């Protein structure tokens, strides 16, 4: 192992011909960039290209990787996408939140052109989503809820009561019996947390 050097988000580390991208990095246009601020690590495997990773200081920070299922909270919505804060990767809480975006076309697998963001999510909803592309210094993680298991898992009604899912596209307030549209997740037991 070489001595560690510090790098910042979005910093160009080396070309993809010199090394392989490890955790905490992403590749673009033949170069490896840092996707977080931390210490640069270069590990040499047998006769192969060294693996370049960026780790957070003493305790390395878990990062959302492509394909990971994440739990996030909706911050804001508009007609094209929902902005979220990623809180968990799998069942592990993150030390710092990451921003994510769920685009309209990534909400459902079918009838994508008919999807309306405000009928899928509302601010403060808790959503299970899958990471489909990594963010960089300027943008967010791109997330998808296009599988049945993904979507809203916790939502509060106007009355402030936790709503109950009644179908794949509706939740109901147990107090007022008002129904609201949501992209409801069919939650698998391993993702259920109290």
- The domain spanning residue 33 has which CATH number? 2.40.50.100
Same domain flag for 31 and 125? no
**CATH number of the domain within which 149 lies:** 2.40.50.140
SS3 category, 191: helix
Same domain flag for 49 and 104? no
Same domain flag for 97 and 120? yes
Residue 78's contacts (CB-CB under 8 Å, 6 or more residues apart) are 117
**pTM score, two decimals?**
0.66
Same domain flag for 49 and 109? no
Q: What is the pLDDT of residue 96?
A: 77
Distances in Å between the Cα of 34 and the Cα atoms of 12, 84, 139, 184 are: 7, 22, 14, 35
Same domain flag for 108 and 31? no
Same domain flag for 45 and 88? no
What secondary structure, in 3-state letters, does 126-170 show? EEEEEEEECCCCCCCEEEECCCCCCEEEECECCCCCECEECCCCE
Over the chain (194 residues), the average pLDDT of each successive run of 10 is: 68 91 90 86 81 70 81 95 92 83 93 90 96 72 94 92 93 94 78 46
Same domain flag for 114 and 40? no
Same domain flag for 92 and 173? yes
Number of folded domains that form the chain: 2
Is residue 75 a part of any domain in this protein?
yes
d(CA 41, CA 4): 6
CB 35 within 8 A of CB 52: no
Q: What is the pLDDT of residue 42?
A: 86
Same domain flag for 51 and 72? no
Same domain flag for 42 and 137? no
d(CA 149, CA 128): 8
Tokens, residue 160? 């402030």
How big is the CA angle at 193 (ends 89 and 77), to the nearest 5 degrees? 60
Tokens, residue 174? 């147990």
Domain boundary among 17, 34, 55: 55
d(CA 156, CA 171): 9
Enclosing domain of residue 182: 68-186
Residues 115-165 have pLDDT tens digits of: 999 999 999 999 999 999 886 545 689 999 999 999 999 999 988 899 999
CB 94 within 8 A of CB 56: no
């Amino acid at each position: 192992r070489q001595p560690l050097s510090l790098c910042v988000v979005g910093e160009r580390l080396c070309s993809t011909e010199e090394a392989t991208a490890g955790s905490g990095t992403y590749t673009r246009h033949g170069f490896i960039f840092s996707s977080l601020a931390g210490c640069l690590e270069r590990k040499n495997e047998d006769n192969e290209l060294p693996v370049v990773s960026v780790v957070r200081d003493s305790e390395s920070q878990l990062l959302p990787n492509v394909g990971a299922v994440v739990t996030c909270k909706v911050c804001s919505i508009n007609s094209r996408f929902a902005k979220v804060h990623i809180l968990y990767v799998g069942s592990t809480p993150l030390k710092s939140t990451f921003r994510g975006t769920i685009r309209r076309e990534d909400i459902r697998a079918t009838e994508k052109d008919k999807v309306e963001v405000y009928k899928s999510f509302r601010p403060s909803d808790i959503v299970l989503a899958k990471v489909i592309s990594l963010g960089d210094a300027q943008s967010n993680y791109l997330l998808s809820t296009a599988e049945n298991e993904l979507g809203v898992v916790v939502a509060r009604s106007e009355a402030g009561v936790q709503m109950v899912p009644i179908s794949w596209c509706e939740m109901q307030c147990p107090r007022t019996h008002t129904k609201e549209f949501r992209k409801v997740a069919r939650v698998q037991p391993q993702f259920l947390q109290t």
